[in-house]
């Protein structure tokens, strides 16, 4: 049995409820969004129109909680360690199982996670580092009721590391791909004093360059802003572990 399948079964049985970040090395992670069918078309078009923040890896059939393309046999209702549940845009208590919330009308979207390139970056000499999640003033392309600003992930690195990061993440287009910006945060309206995730930052350390990637929080925020009756996602940092191997998907 692969480490990915083993991890999912531990999640299914309730033994594993912690984060998947930096866990199960070698396997691609995906973010989950579950919406009812009434929202599915506009949400899918939103993702297609904004491929950098919303790279779709799989869309399941309505009512079908099983991933076919990236994790055969997985059940998306039980095989993530923790889920966030939102009703009309308000977050309820997290859960480790969403079987009772699932219906014939539920559509699961798996969206590539930037976590996927953490490991290859490290192997390429860019060490694991603090990340910040920041709002920007870049507007995404709307679809139906879905719209909103792009959210980005920022890392601070040397210019030499930034070059390697551009080269390497370009090879992962379904996992946010190349950075969307380098350097001055103000250019994209990112306010380092008020990050969504990460410690406030007043100055950029000398010799370090901010590097910004489109972030999977973008489609989640766009979905929430439309206040759907029910939306389910992975809890932050508790992404779905697929059977896809990072070293096999790193080409367009």
Q: Compare residues 15 and 251 and give the one whose CB is closer to a copy of itself.
A: 251
Query: Closest distance between a copy of itself and the C-beta of residue 109, in Å?
Result: 10
Beta-carbon contacts of 198 under 8 Å, excluding residues fewer than 6 positions away, are 130, 131, 132, 133, 154
Distances (CA, A) of 135 to 34, 163, 183, 217: 23, 24, 16, 10
Q: Compare residues 13 and 251 and give the one whose CB is closer to a copy of itself.
A: 251
* Contact residues: a copy of itself, CB under 8 A: 40-41, 44-45, 48-49, 56, 58-59, 61, 68-69, 141, 143, 170-173, 177-178, 251-252
d(CA 76, CA 66): 6
Query: Closest distance between a copy of itself and the C-beta of residue 85, in Å?
Result: 25
Q: Which ranges of the chain does DSSP label H, i.e. alpha helix? A: 3-12, 37-49, 118-123, 159-169, 217-225
Residue 237: DSSP 8-state:
T
Query: Closest distance between a copy of itself and the C-beta of residue 71, in Å?
Result: 15
Q: Compare residues 124 and 197 and give the one whose CB is closer to a copy of itself.
A: 124
Q: Compare residues 78 and 113 and give the one whose CB is closer to a copy of itself.
A: 113
Query: Closest distance between a copy of itself and the C-beta of residue 45, in Å?
Result: 5
Query: Closest distance between a copy of itself and the C-beta of residue 41, in Å?
Result: 4
Please name the residue that has the structure tokens 């990112």: 190
Query: Reduced to 3 states, what is the DSSP secondary structure of residue 33?
Result: strand
Q: Compare residues 9 and 59 and give the one whose CB is closer to a copy of itself.
A: 59
């Amino acid at each position: 049995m692969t480490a990915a399948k083993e991890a999912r079964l531990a999640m299914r049985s309730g033994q594993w409820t912690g984060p998947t970040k930096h866990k199960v090395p070698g396997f691609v992670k995906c973010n989950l969004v579950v919406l009812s069918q009434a929202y599915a078309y506009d949400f899918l078009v939103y993702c297609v129109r904004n491929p950098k923040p919303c790279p779709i890896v799989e869309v399941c059939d309505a009512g079908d909680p099983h991933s076919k393309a990236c994790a055969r046999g997985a059940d998306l209702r039980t095989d993530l360690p923790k889920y966030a549940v939102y009703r009309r845009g308000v977050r309820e208590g997290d859960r480790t199982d969403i079987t009772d919330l699932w219906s014939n009308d539920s559509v699961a979207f798996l969206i590539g996670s930037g976590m996927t390139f953490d490991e290859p970056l490290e192997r390429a000499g860019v060490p694991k580092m603090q990340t910040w999640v920041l709002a920007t003033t870049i507007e995404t392309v709307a679809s139906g009721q879905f719209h909103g600003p792009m959210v980005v992930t920022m890392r601070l690195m040397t210019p030499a590391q930034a070059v390697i990061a551009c080269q390497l993440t370009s090879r992962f287009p379904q996992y946010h791909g190349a950075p969307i910006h380098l350097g001055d945060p103000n250019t994209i309206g990112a306010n380092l004093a008020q990050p969504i995730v990460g410690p406030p930052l007043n100055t950029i350390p000398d010799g370090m360059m901010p590097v910004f990637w489109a972030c999977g929080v973008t489609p989640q925020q766009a979905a929430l802003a439309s206040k759907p009756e029910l939306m389910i996602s992975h809890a932050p940092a508790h992404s779905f572990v697929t059977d896809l191997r990072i070293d096999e998907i790193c080409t367009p």
